Structure 1
Amino acid sequence: MGQLTGKNAIITGASSGIGATIAKHLAHEGANVVLAARRKEKLGTIAEEINTAGEGQALAVPTNVANRSEVEAMVKKAAETFGDIDIYVNNAGLMLDARVREGKVEEWEQMIDVNIKGALYGINAVTPTMIERSTGHIINIASVSGQEVTKISSVYSATKFAVRALSMGMEKELARTGVRVTNISPGMVDTDLARSRGRSNSDRRPLDTDDIARAIVYAVTQPDYVNVNEITVRPV
């Protein structure tokens, strides 16, 4: 029996990369997982893979996290299918052109809508019930770009600084409620997103998505009185 048997989790951005791997790791530990992302076919493939493994069950719910009503509908469907949500992983994210001098306002707005508003919509949808039950865990996936800014990351870093600030504030807001908050800040991870943006470092081996998923499993499997507030995972 896995460490998360009987638990129900939602993972956004779960159609590939870090999100898909998180879903597989949580399911391996026995959790039922709801996979939320826009790419319906990829979600279905990952859900089928998890269900075939015969550990936790998976449900694919196509969702645009930048749309509040879609997030609320997804959370409702998750609860109707599996029951109360124990773990919510805000993983969906966009990494577009982030130089201020380029003036790509539409790309900035997309990052703000997904990286910040998308996280807030999910938190808003699940937190009231978690507080009512005095249990639950919010995982926010930020980035080391939320700790350090480069000349090409200004706007992206701003969105990830916001996610980290949100995590820090929530820790204080939710203290003594039984609801835990963990901020995960990955360094360079070998994903399609990173490769598509040319974000590679030839001097160091990038992280695997499994490295981030293991950090999340660590945080959510601690005793109820332990709140792992922040984990930064970097390549050596």
Structure 2
Amino acid sequence: MNLFNFSGKVAVITGASSGLGADAARGFAEHGADVALLARRKEKLDSLVEEINQKDGGRAFAVACDVADEKNTQAAVDVVLNHYSKIDILLNNAGVAFGGSVESMNDADWDRAIDVNLKGIIHTCKYIIPGMRERKYGRIINIASVNAIIADKPAALWRHAYNMTKAGVIGLTKGMAASYTQYGITTNAICPGLFETEMTENTLFKATDFLHMYNALCPASRPGAKGELNAPILFFASEGAGYVSGQYLLVDGGLSIV
């Protein structure tokens, strides 16, 4: 009954201004965690903070942060530590996705994907892990993607930088787990399938042919629904997952098995 009781824990969520990050922030807060919300769009974070704090017992705090910028991320982590004094849980959710292939993409596109999807995780972990090591406790959850495991054949869906960087998230997760689990810090990854978010609602969800194809291929016959990623995230962050590290979990309605 207490598996998802996060009372007394502090959770940092990056990319928390909308979509899966905002849903996760609500989930952690509803289960007792104090949450620190990081994203570039402070006005959206402030709105979510107000929503969470209006609920019984909710405690949320927002910091503007671009995880692609190391110094900016270090400063944001310092603000969180000054506010809460510790960080127990880190959900690395910030990410970007855009179309393109190795033929069509320029260096700026590749650099942006790497800076946010990979180096963004490196930057947060660099400044949060030392405190976790000192206290011999930490839960790190990295959001990868089903597209780290499978790719799309139709040219309209080619996203080579996304494939590459999200596969890199899984490799980084394994490397960190091998290094830090001995200090009481678990590191795991979640690979979502298609969910409706701010990133997908005006692209994939408006492509009728794509949705028809996705639903036909996916064993669940539908995209993920709002909130369906929360339980896997909360599990990896929970006390019950203390012996689970270096793993990645596909939350994709079975898409990756067909």
**How would you bin the TM-score normalised by the shorter chain?**
over 0.9
Question: Partner of 2:222: helix, strand, or coil?
Answer: coil
Note the C-alpha offset of 1:223.
Answer: 3.0
Paired residues of 1:143 and 1:185 also in contact (CA < 8 A):
yes
Which sections of structure 1, spanning at least 5 residues, go unmatched?
A: none
1:182 aligns to 2:188 (yes or no): yes
Q: Which residue of 1 aligns with 2:141?
A: 139
Q: Tell me which amino acid in the other structure corresponds to 1:233.
A: V
TM-score (norm 2): 0.87
Deviates more, 1:39-48 or 1:189-198: 189-198
1:230 aligns to 2:248 (yes or no): yes
Q: Which residue of 1 aligns with 2:55?
A: 53
Q: Tell me which amino acid in the other structure corresponds to 2:223.
A: P
Question: Partner of 1:101: helix, strand, or coil?
Answer: coil
Sequence identity of aligned pairs in percent? 34
Root mean square deviation, CA, Å:
1.7
Deviations 1:24-69 (A, max 9, x none): 0000011010110011111110010000012331001111111111
State the structure with more CA Rg.
2
1:217 aligns to 2:234 (yes or no): yes
1:43 aligns to 2:57 (yes or no): no
Q: Tell me which amino acid in the other structure corresponds to 2:174.
A: M
Paired residues of 1:186 and 1:212 also in contact (CA < 8 A):
yes
Q: Tell me which amino acid in the other structure corresponds to 2:173.
A: S
- Provide the aligned length of Structure 1 versus Structure 2: 236
Note the C-alpha offset of 1:113.
Answer: 0.7
TM-score (norm 1): 0.94
1:117 aligns to 2:134 (yes or no): no
* Closer/same/farther in 2, CA of residues 218 and 23 from structure 1, 3 Å limit: same
Quick one: which of 160, 170, 179 aligns to 2:176? 170
Question: Partner of 1:174: helix, strand, or coil?
Answer: helix
For the residues of structure 2 that align with 1:230 and 1:222, how far apart are their CA atoms?
A: 18
For the residues of structure 1 that align with 2:141 and 2:108, how far apart are their CA atoms?
A: 27
Quick one: which of 211, 227, 243 aligns to 1:201? 211
Q: Which residue of 2 aligns with 1:9?
A: 11
Paired residues of 1:97 and 1:104 also in contact (CA < 8 A):
no
Q: Which residue of 1 aligns with 2:218?
A: none
Q: Which residue of 2 aligns with 1:79?
A: 81
Which sections of structure 2, spanning at least 5 residues, go unmatched?
A: 216-220
Q: Tell me which amino acid in the other structure corresponds to 2:96.
A: L
For the residues of structure 1 that align with 2:91 and 2:116, how far apart are their CA atoms?
A: 14
Question: Partner of 1:210: helix, strand, or coil?
Answer: coil
Q: Tell me which amino acid in the other structure corresponds to 1:144.
A: V
Note the C-alpha offset of 1:224.
Answer: 6.4
Q: Tell me which amino acid in the other structure corresponds to 1:73.
A: A
Paired residues of 1:8 and 1:83 also in contact (CA < 8 A):
no
